[in-house]
Chain A
């Protein structure tokens, strides 16, 4: 039996790409905290709160391809994007540290690693959320037309 579900339509590909990014981000963050033993700061936790459910929401939305995943996924992705943007600005020193909400535990400006020499952890997060928000917006636009 051949169904329309079997074809790799653009919607599915976009959702799958978004799921792949969130899963990579989730596993990557777990690698940093559980394997490399970097303690996550409070802003990192908020980004995790937005990122981890996306793995499930987008994964479920793939079978069968469900554009409704965009409706549930987009608010999470935007929330995460805003947190990541704030974190990146803080990390890069654009926002002064006195405005930082992290007083206890690990500083949100703690420098752990720079992937490829220039990508900090907050920047990786911002990049991932940007890609996910972008992919979901494209699916949404296709939905409307």
Chain B
């Protein structure tokens, strides 16, 4: 019996240690992200990033997204709804984290569309037609060039193409990628609510965290 006891006891101790360590690690995540942001002097919501919602809102959601990410597309409407249901109190800042090979070009295209003030229209088309230009996780930016005018977005495509090649546009995207890396955000959509990451991933967790921040700020 002695051997069984040693073996069983060890197995139980290891499993318990694993569970406890996991809980502790997750618990410290919020502080770690905040500390990383401070240490690297990273602006979570830089002024140049595209945002929606009032400047004076006391709750800011920063969303790192990938145009080719299916979950980001799925979250797009619920997040807009979340903002609409809490008017005047929540601001959403979108930042690029293109993780799929090729979606960096799409992120640049999106950033460039801001010059013609068509960001949100282009974003809608990108997410709505994602299955056609980024099926099976293989983004084909070229296919998107056809889909945007076809969807009726009034935008000068030649101008967009030229703007997307601008160094300034690339550096905005790269800046976001670097920030995500420094903050330890490796998956999309990556949400930070007033700098705090979600305790676990999910729409309900996002709503809960936003409401907690609203309760604390107002």
Contact = CB atoms under 8 A, between A and B. Distances in A.
B3 A63 contact: yes
A53 B11 CA distance: 16
Given A6-B2, A35-B25, A37-B187, A63 B7 contact: yes
Interface residues on A, range: 20 to 34
Contacts, number: 39
Given A20-B10, A23-B14, A27-B14, A35 B22 contact: yes
A24 interface: yes
A52 interface: no
B77 interface: no
Interface residues of B, number: 17
Nearest to B25: A35
Contacts of A16: 3, 6-7
Given A27-B14, A62-B7, A35 B21 contact: yes
15 contacts: A6-B1, A8-B2, A16-B6, A23-B14, A27-B14, A31-B21, A31-B22, A34-B22, A35-B25, A35-B26, A36-B25, A37-B186, A37-B187, A62-B3, A63-B4
Contacts of B120: none
Nearest to B24: A35
Contacts of B1: 6
